[in-house]
Chain A
Amino acid sequence: NAGVTQTPKFQVLKTGQSMTLQCAQDMNHNSMYWYRQDPGMGLRLIYYSASEGTTDKGEVPNGYNVSRLNKREFSLRLESAAPSQTSVYFCASSEALRGDTQYFGPGTRLTVL
């Protein structure tokens, strides 16, 4: 039981390049999330998926898109990376959307030059 996995662990992009961050969970959770973590700012919600087939914007969605591919997988895409998107990205999942423990993946450290 791997829990929540993310790929890649590290990535360096040039401004304007695109990439997709992958996330998968094997806990049969309904809800999945993408956060970014910047120094001194805690965790900010980018997008979430309450259940398979639905996605919604979080606190900081601009510059990102997501796809809930199936119940297990939730990907985050940067279409045209900017230096302001340099951050650590965490995927998380929970059984239910509201009032439930969120389990985090190991994170992806992204640098945009």
Chain B
Amino acid sequence: GENVEQHPSTLSVQEGDSAVIKCTYSDSASNYFPWYKQELGKRPQLIIDIRSNVGEKKDQRIAVTLNKTAKHFSLHITETQPEDSAVYFCAATPYSSASKIIFGSGTRLSIRP
């Protein structure tokens, strides 16, 4: 079945710098890769997603890249701000398996003022 590994588990960056979170997946049939942000004590919320027919997608300060050959995808946050502090989860949805969106273990991002 699908397995999603996420690195790093914690990340601390200076405000204004960029942050990069990386995920790898095992099922080559996976075709949908969402990223969720979870603030402390809150619910996970989708911030960006990418499908397997696209290599890169950008939304203001956040972008996601996908390398299907290497089976990895990354989240890039530029010009980081204090409100970017949260736990970020990547996920993969294998096409062959009826629901099974598999989440990575999460990255706790801290923005230093």
How far is the CB of B93 from the nearest CB of chain A, in Å? 6
Q: Are A42 and B99 in contact (CB under 8 A)?
A: no
Asked if B71 is at the interface (CB within 8 A of a chain A CB), the reply is no
Query: Of A41, A45, A56, A105, which is within 8 A of B101 by CB?
Result: A45
Q: Are A105 and B43 in contact (CB under 8 A)?
A: yes
* Complex contacts, B98 vs chain A, CB 8 Å: 50, 56, 97-98
Q: Are B44 and A43 in contact (CB under 8 A)?
A: yes
Q: Are A58 and B100 in contact (CB under 8 A)?
A: yes
Chain B 19-50 interface 0/1 with A at a Cβ cutoff of 8 Å (1 = within):
00000000000011010000000111110010
Q: Are B105 and A99 in contact (CB under 8 A)?
A: no
Asked if B18 is at the interface (CB within 8 A of a chain A CB), the reply is no
Q: Are A43 and B103 in contact (CB under 8 A)?
A: yes
Interface size in chain A (residues, C-beta < 8 A): 25
- In Å, the complex CA distance between A81 and B63 comes to 42
Q: Are A99 and B31 in contact (CB under 8 A)?
A: yes
How far is the CB of B50 from the nearest CB of chain A, in Å? 11
Most buried by A among B46, B99, B106: B99
Asked if A74 is at the interface (CB within 8 A of a chain B CB), the reply is no
Asked if A53 is at the interface (CB within 8 A of a chain B CB), the reply is no
Query: Of A33, A45, A106, which is within 8 A of B43 by CB?
Result: A106
Asked if B12 is at the interface (CB within 8 A of a chain A CB), the reply is no
B→A interface (CB under 8 Å):
6, 9, 31-32, 34, 42-46, 49, 51, 89, 93, 95, 98-106
A→B interface (CB under 8 Å):
31, 33, 40-45, 48, 50, 56, 58-59, 90, 97-107
